[in-house]
Chains A and B, each alone.
Chain A
Amino acid sequence: MMKLVFALAALAALALVPAFAGPYPLGLGIGILGYGVLATAWAMFSGPTRYISLATVAFFGLGAYTVAVLADMLPYPLVLLVAAFVGLVVALIVGLATLRLAGIYFVIFTFGLTELVRQLVTYYEVNVTRTLGRYVFLPLGPEHIYWQLLALLAATLAIAFWVSRARIGLALRVIGDDPVVASHLGIRITRTKLTLFSISCVIMTLAGAIQAPRWTYIEPSIVFNPTTSFLVVIMALLGGPNRLFGPLLGAVPLFLLFEWLSANFPNHYSIILGLLFIAIVFVLPNGVLAAGDSLWSRLTRREARP
């Protein structure tokens, strides 16, 4: 109960930020919220299963593109709904095709998928609609985008919290530990993975849809930028993908760090990102906070011994 009051108070305080913040800090706030949503949604599926998905930006981009295509034709709330639906359909198709893959094959497939989606969208735009870029004119200021993302983040955290307490969350953890045991205990593996993968992907799609009006001009190379997928993995793994607030806590410093890096070292940015990705995926797959935890418990255990 106390926690809920505290969470609501924090939410209210964050909702007031646009009233005080200037355009630059508000832009940073939007970036942090956007990546916070993506990292939390990513961890909801990839934390327990340890499936490193690089498809994040495929869904993010699909969301943004749906808004770009439909913004003139449908009322905005309906556009968001359609975007969520597009995300769901693609997630189900991708899920059924890939969730039997494991380890590095899954990583590569999801990376390839992003490229495939980008190429398909490009092909469609060039050959069918004969446009490549699109303009998004929606009467939504940065503060509206900020509030929508804040609401999406709150919803995402609530869903992640619910999943962590629910049977389906336990099922996913069992599958992540040992799929053979999971199936022998009566867990329906494909259904469980598909459900949580879809929830996670729909959230990512919405994150892209909500942020679409920020760009004004959208083209595939902007919204399907694979860097986003890598960054999300680093954030979630750094903060700890199996904690509710872990991915969000990873997103805040890393977003700021990468903003600074891309502004000051635009040529070395990708190299630094790549090295960080490798280091975190291989050295600290459970997150920096978890590593700190286990170090802490090792130290305290040692002290407790006579």
Chain B
Amino acid sequence: MTLLSLHNVTKRFGGLTAVNGLTFDLAMGETVGLLGPNGSGKTTALNLISGYLPLSDGSITLSGDAIGTLPPERIAHRGVARTFQLVRALPSLSVGENVLAALAFRKSPLWGQQAEAQIEALLADVGLSGRASQPADSLTYIDLKRMELARALASDPQLLLLDEWLAGLNPTELRAGIDLITSLRQRGITILLVEHVMDAIRALCSRCVVMNAGTKIADGPTSEVLADREVIRAYLGDEHA
């Protein structure tokens, strides 16, 4: 069953077409990698899905309903949550309040004692047990990423958009990160994963969509896509193909 469907999705910034006629579907429960060299339009695609940017052309549907013209808060209430490539913590709030902010304003909000219990559980999931009362701006970069994921999960998403969430982790953290995302997949969350870390893509994604200069150049099982000549050329240049 299809959860998310992009049809001919296009985004122009003045003369630059950052995303050009992008079309693909995500099935319910799937974990799909969205790959491509720097500047190929991956983050822009996520921004269009989450409603951060308005579409220039095309359409997006979630469970069959058009969401392409909805504002981010309405899309969030339909079960889409995300992290940002450059972490966006809420710096004047505590770690727990960052998570509470998601719990309190999701479709079925939690507040008060119910929320407290959830906050601790969510923080434990990402390895931030017992850190709820710490100010968010005192966390290290990696912990901020963890907190941002806990916040996204607190929204109780059916679709999770991760923008290079594994970037910058050391090998131990990377393994923990991959395990964590695997556990989300097992909970039935559909994940669209923008990632450059190939080990993670191989471990997590059964399928990949590859973009280059705003256009989709490959879409299929991960092993096939990664062996595709055009994909290799896009990533590494002509001489390696």
**Contact assessment for B73 and A170 in the assembled complex, using a CB-CB cutoff below 8 Å:** no
Interface residue? B11 (CB, 8 A)? no
Q: Per-residue CB proximity of B86-98 to A under 8 Å, as 1/0? A: 0010111100010
* A186 in contact (CB, < 8 A): yes
A185 to B91, CA, bound (A): 16
B102 at the interface (CB under 8 A from A): yes
Q: Are A186 and B97 in contact (CB under 8 A)?
A: no
A189 to B76, CA, bound (A): 13
Query: Is the pair B109, A184 in contact by a Cβ cutoff of 8 Å?
Result: no
Within 8 A of B (CB), among A152-208: 167, 170-171, 173-174, 176-178, 180-189
Interface set, chain B 36-86, CB cutoff 8 A to A: 50-52, 71-73, 76-77, 81-82
Q: Which residues of A255-290 have CB atoms within 8 Å of chain B's CB atoms?
A: none
Enumerate chain A residues within 8 angstroms of B97, measured Cβ to Cβ.
170, 173
Bound-state Cα–Cα, A93 to B92, Å: 30
Contact between A185 and B76 (Cβ–Cβ < 8 Å)? Answer: yes
B91 pairs with A184, CB closer than 8 A? no
Known: A171-B105, A181-B88. Contact between A188 and B93, CB under 8 A? no
Q: For the complex, give the distance between the alpha carbons of A167 and B100 in Å.
A: 10
Name the A residues within 8 Å of B155 (CB-CB).
185-186
Residue B106 interfacial (CB < 8 Å) = yes
Alpha-carbon gap, A181 to B90, bound state (A): 8
The answer to whether A177 touches B90, judged by C-beta atoms less than 8 angstroms apart, is yes
How many interface contacts (CB-CB < 8 Å) are there between A and B? 67
Q: Does B151 contact A (CB under 8 A)?
A: yes
Any chain A CB within 8 A of the CB of B174? no
Q: Which residue of B lies closest to A183 (CB)?
A: B72
Give the chain B neighbours of A185 by CB distance below 8 A.
73, 76, 101-102, 105-106, 151, 155
B104 at the interface (CB under 8 A from A): yes
Shortest C-beta distance, A175 to chain B (Å), equals 10
Is B88 within 8 A of A170, CB to CB? no
- Chain B residue, CB-CB nearest to A50: B92
Bound-state CA distance A177–B92 (Å) is 7
Task: Please indicate the chain B residues that have their CB under 8 angstroms from the CB of A182 in the complex.
Answer: 101
On chain A, the residues within 8 Å of B104 by CB distance are 167, 170-171
For B78, the closest partner residue in chain A by CB is A186
Q: In the docked arrangement, what's the CA distance between A187 and B73, Å?
A: 6
Residues of the A chain whose Cβ atoms lie less than 8 Å from the Cβ of B111: 167
CB distance from B47 to the nearest CB of A (A): 10
Query: Across the interface, do B101 and A183 meet the contact criterion of CB distance under 8 Å?
Result: no
Question: When the two chains form their complex, are residues A183 and B73 in contact, meaning their CB atoms are under 8 A apart?
Answer: yes
B82 touches A184 (CB 8 A): yes
- Pair B71/A183 contact, Cβ less than 8 Å: yes
B45 to chain A, nearest CB (A): 16
Is B52 a contact partner of A170 (Cβ separation < 8 A)?
no
Q: How far apart are B91's CB and chain A's nearest CB, in angstroms? A: 6
* CB of B131 within 8 Å of the partner chain: no
Find out whether the CB atom of B76 lies under 8 angstroms from the CB atom of A183. Answer: yes
Check if B73 sits within 8 Å of A178, measured CB to CB: no
Q: Nearest chain-B residue to A192 (Cβ)? A: B105
Answer whether residue B185 sits at the interface, using C-beta atoms and an 8 A cutoff.
no
Shortest C-beta distance, B100 to chain A (Å), equals 7
Q: A186 to B71, alpha carbons, bound, how many Å? A: 10
B93–A173 contact, CB under 8 A?
yes
Residues of chain B from 113 to 165 with CB closer than 8 A to chain A in the complex: 151, 155
Q: Does B105 lie within 8 Å of A187, measured CB to CB?
A: yes
Q: In the complex the two chains form, what is the Cα distance from A188 to B70 in whole Å? A: 13
Q: What are 5 contact pairs spanning A and B, CB under 8 A?
A: A174-B93, A174-B101, A185-B76, A186-B76, A186-B155
Residues of A within 8 A of B (CB): 167, 170-171, 173-174, 176-178, 180-189
Chain A to chain B: the 4 pairs with minimum beta-carbon distance, closest first: A183-B72, A177-B90, A186-B76, A186-B105
**Other 5 A-B pairs with CB < 8 A, given A171-B105, A183-B73:** A171-B101, A184-B82, A185-B73, A185-B76, A185-B155
